[in-house]
Amino acid sequence: MDECSQNIFEPGKVINGQWVILELIGKGGMGEVYRAHQLNLKRDVALKVISSQWLQALLEDEEEMETAMQRFKREVQAMARVRHPNVLQIFDYGSAVIQKDATACPVEFICMEYVAGNTLRHTMSEEGFYPEQELVISWLQDYFLPVLKGVQAIHDLDIVHRDLKPENIMLDGRTPKIADFGLARSNRLKQVTGSMEIKGTAHYMSPEHFFDFKRADQRADIYSLGKILFEALDGKMNKKIPTFKSVGLKNPGSPFLRKLDHIIRDATA
């Protein structure tokens, strides 16, 4: 096993004299996420370590790793410009060389806002809110409309999320915050995410997104939002809902629900 492939940061280790690692809090296709304490500002942050496999997938044809890294850093800088209460804030980008079992491991990481709460998934019923219109309205006002505002802030800077799903929307108390946006840039990334993330994400991915990441523009995010809205109303998606299929409510019984059904069908068309 590659010594640099997992558990790269050990609890108690100080990274670049700035961050004390507290604990590993998550793993995904991009790499690992750690809770850390930023010494100078005395606050907890999240450090997302970018896996070497993911970085290799950033390479375009005939492109050198250094060129790919510069491009990736520019994308992170663009994402850090997003300032919105419903978008997880990116603070910094860093590099380090970590000694692990006599192996020197070069590491790239992103420092971002730490949110200790649950995700949007925890606000959604397994059976769905439909046809209880009051529950639908409450969920829309408390959670979905703020998410739409966050996505709009991202799109206003010409950034595409490319992986919107309930698990990528964190909850800071009752405030939803969009995380992990704009990072799936290369069309070759599906070779990496295919074995790591696609299984839980495919229901929310538009066809052009799945088959060619470069074609995933803002419309791909709208498709994902339509699927999230449908799931909140109809219940958790499973094998009965074919991937890439347009969805809609069955027999919406009021003008309000018919309007939502129209929105869902348009978004996922």
For every residue of 103-136, DSSP letters joined together read EEEEEEEEEEE---S-BGGGGS-SS-STT-HHHH
How high does pLDDT run on average in the chain? Answer: 85
Map tokens 């050198």 to a residue.
Answer: 64
Domain borders along the chain are 14-113, 120-267
DSSP code at position 17: T
Q: Cβ neighbours of residue 196 under 8 Å, at least 6 residues apart?
A: 28, 29
**pTM for the whole structure:** 0.85
The CA distance from 55 to 63, in Å, is 12
Lookup: tokens for 165: 């799903």
User: Which of 89-103, 106-120, 192-206 shows the lowest mean pLDDT across its residues?
Assistant: 192-206
* Helix residue spans in 58-189 (DSSP H): 65-80, 133-139, 145-156
* Helix residue spans in 21-83 (DSSP H): 52-57, 65-80
Kindly tell me if the per-residue pLDDT of 198 is higher than 80.
Answer: no
Q: Cβ neighbours of residue 126 under 8 Å, at least 6 residues apart?
A: 235, 236
pLDDT digits (tens, 9 = 90+) for 99-114: 888 889 888 899 999 9
| pLDDT band for position 206 (cuts 50, 70, 90) | confident
151 within 8 A of 225, measured Cβ to Cβ: yes
226 within 8 A of 264, measured Cβ to Cβ: yes
- Phi and psi dihedrals of 33, rounded to 5? -125, 130
The CA distance from 107 to 157, in Å, is 28
pLDDT digits (tens, 9 = 90+) for 143-153: 999 999 999 99
- pLDDT score, position 192: 40
Kindly tell me if the per-residue pLDDT of 185 is higher than 80.
Answer: no
Strands 43-50 and 103-113 come out as antiparallel
The secondary structure element, H or E, covering residue 47 is strand 43-50
Which CATH code for domain 14-113? Answer: 3.30.200.20
The superfamily CATH assigns to domain 120-267 is Transferase(Phosphotransferase) domain 1 (1.10.510.10)
Q: Which residue has the higher pLDDT, 69 or 178?
A: 178
Task: Please list the active-site residues.
Answer: 172
| pLDDT band for position 64 (cuts 50, 70, 90) | low
